[in-house]
Amino acid sequence: MEPGKEPLYRGLGRCACSFWLAVVFDVLGLLVLLLGVFVNVFFYDLLIYAGAIIIFLSLVWWVFWYSGNIEVPPAELEDDVGLLPKKRGALGALGGAVRRLSSRVSGTVRASFRRNGRAHGSEAQRVTQVNVGMATMTTERVPATETLPT
């Protein structure tokens, strides 16, 4: 193939493996399902359910095949992945300010969820350990005038 030329895909497209896996799952699922319907075995219900599940799982391969063959022109793709030059001027400066504000706010929120002992700014949080004593309780009722042994 010549450099700079994209290959021409015909027939099944780019994802032929996903296509054939989907077809195999469909055929296998249909065979198992029909086997459960028409063969007189005591576990026919298992075969019917298994065939339906296999056919359902073939949808995964059909989605892979379809989404793998979607064509996006490079001109439309460049804007989505940020390959176009950044616009200068009022809108470019506003976008930069919004981006800085967003990263500052998200950094503050992210830091507030951290549990590593560091606080915002120069303050340091002190992590202390609290010991809690637990007493054994009985199910019998104790009159209000009596106290529990310690």
- 8-state DSSP, 4: T
Instruction: Report which of 112, 140, 141 is spatially closest to residue 125, judged by C-alpha positions.
Output: 112
In a domain? residue 31: yes
Question: What was the pLDDT predicted at 82?
Answer: 61
In a domain? residue 21: yes
Q: Evaluate whether 85 touches 35 at the Cβ level (below 8 Å).
A: no
Residues spanned by the domain of 40: 16-69
In a domain? residue 22: yes
Question: What was the pLDDT predicted at 85?
Answer: 55
- 8-state DSSP, 136: -
Q: How many domains does the chain have?
A: 1
Question: What was the pLDDT predicted at 96?
Answer: 74
In a domain? residue 129: no
With vertex at residue 23, the alpha carbon angle to CA 72 and CA 27, rounded to the nearest 5 degrees, is 160
In a domain? residue 47: yes
pTM exceeds cut of 0.75:
no
Mean pLDDT, consecutive 10-residue stretches, the chain (150 aa), reads 63 88 98 96 96 97 92 72 58 73 81 62 56 70 63
In a domain? residue 135: no
In a domain? residue 140: no
In a domain? residue 112: no
Q: How many Cβ atoms are within 10 Å of 79's Cβ, its own excluded?
A: 9
